[in-house]
Structure 1
């Protein structure tokens, strides 16, 4: 059940990260979930390093670190996906090379 929960949290983090980032991220839903999962894991590692992973009550600092990491990872992942898949923006009026 832990993996299912991690995937759900990764998807939620990825979707929030896509909403926070400016512009449109042309990445599939499965990649959004994967990048969110990676961001959440990195945020947990950062929280552990800072000593704030487990606190009394809601771990707001840990959740904020997870979201920050997810925003960074989704931003980088989206740029890489677009570069690899050729979905980058082209200047207006330049549909083909001469």
Structure 2
């Protein structure tokens, strides 16, 4: 009985170490690599553009509806989602 119990524990321990540990190591390494790559990419992006002068030319009624629809918040959410989708899509294991 003791040998059967030890054999079962060894089998379960081997399965957990093969499956869960390797996946955790791979996804941990991918998370670290992506965070480091994004740090480098954000330094390469431009700091500012000429958008402020373009928005200053908008009339007051346009600003009213832009603020009413919360367009700045919506654009930032959509842009962040698109960037995240692109980054996840570039991961060889997870992306399509």
- Which of the pair has more CA radius of gyration? 2
Structure with greater proportional helix content: 2
TM-score normalised by the chain length of structure 2: 0.30
TM-score normalised by the chain length of structure 1: 0.30
Structure with greater contact order relative to length (CA < 8 Å, sep ≥ 6):
1
